[in-house]
Amino acid sequence: MMPRPVRAKGRKGREPAKPKGTGSLRVGLAADHGGFALKEKLAAGLKKAGHRVKDFGAYQETRGDDYPDYVVPMAVAVAGGKLDRGIAVCGSGVGACIAANKVPGVRAALVVDVFSAHQGVEDDDMNVICLGGRVVGYELARDLIDAFLSARFAGGRRFRRRLEKIAELEAQ
């Protein structure tokens, strides 16, 4: 049985947070030990670019820590509209992506190319980008995040229809 379409809304019936113009964004960062070094470099670059950065940890490189402990609180803040976008980093990016997508209202993807970084936002309203700290270097990560943060959801009928189907699944 196919779920009936509903209006795509974030948690508590609010529209998902949208970046405001081309200015500064509220960006959340989260990483475990596998993404810690990359997260630290990204945080400095984002602040220098004028974004308001909320760091959800890890705050030191502790081998054996668990990515859900950092990624899930960041994802909850994105879904709740407290942040415009989120960046989650673990060793491969896969675990961080799985954890983030467990939070209703989050649309996270593991991204390794610039096209997917902006297309995921434009077509799918992606609000969390996931990166592998042991997979992408800082320069590529910076390019991916620039594309992700500068992209805007196109909002076309077919894109909204797809998001409505996802929202219905989350509501079940």
Greatest C-alpha distance within the chain: 50
- Tokens 């760091």 label which residue? 55
Which band of pLDDT confidence, cut at 50, 70 and 90, is reported for residue 8?
very low
Give the span between the Cα atoms of 171 and 4, in whole angstroms: 11
The answer, yes or no, to whether residue 12 has pLDDT greater than 90, is no
Fold of 23-171: Ribose 5-phosphate Isomerase B; Chain: A, (3.40.1400)
| Confidence band, pLDDT 50/70/90 cuts, at residue 51 | very high
Say whether pLDDT at 17 is over 60. no
- Alpha-carbon span 140 to 137, nearest angstrom: 6
Confidence of residue 129 (pLDDT cuts 50, 70, 90): very high
**58 close to 70: Cβ distance less than 8 angstroms:** yes
Mean pLDDT in residue range 55-66: 93
Token output for 93 = 């990016």
Is 90 a residue of the active site?
Answer: yes
Q: Could you give the residue ranges of the DSSP H alpha helices within the chain?
A: 36-48, 68-79, 94-100, 114-124, 138-150, 157-171
Residue 26 bridge partners (DSSP):
52
For the segment 62-85, the average pLDDT, to the nearest whole number, is 96
**What integer pLDDT is reported at residue 7 of this predicted model?**
35
Sheet holding 85-90, edge to edge: 52-55, 26-31, 85-90, 128-132, 108-110
Encoded amino acid at 119, one letter: Q
pLDDT over threshold 80, residue 6: no
Residues in Cβ contact with 49 at an 8 Å cutoff, skipping those fewer than 6 apart: none
CA 40 to chain centre: 17
What's the whole-number mean pLDDT along residues 13-30? Answer: 65
Query: Tokens 């209703």 sit at which residue?
Result: 104
pLDDT at 81 over 90: yes
Pairwise CA distance, residues 39 & 49, whole Å: 15
Point out the catalytic residue in the list 78, 90, 145, 151: 90
Would the CA dihedral through 7, 70, 132, 118 be positive or negative?
Answer: positive
Mean predicted confidence (pLDDT) in 150-160? 94
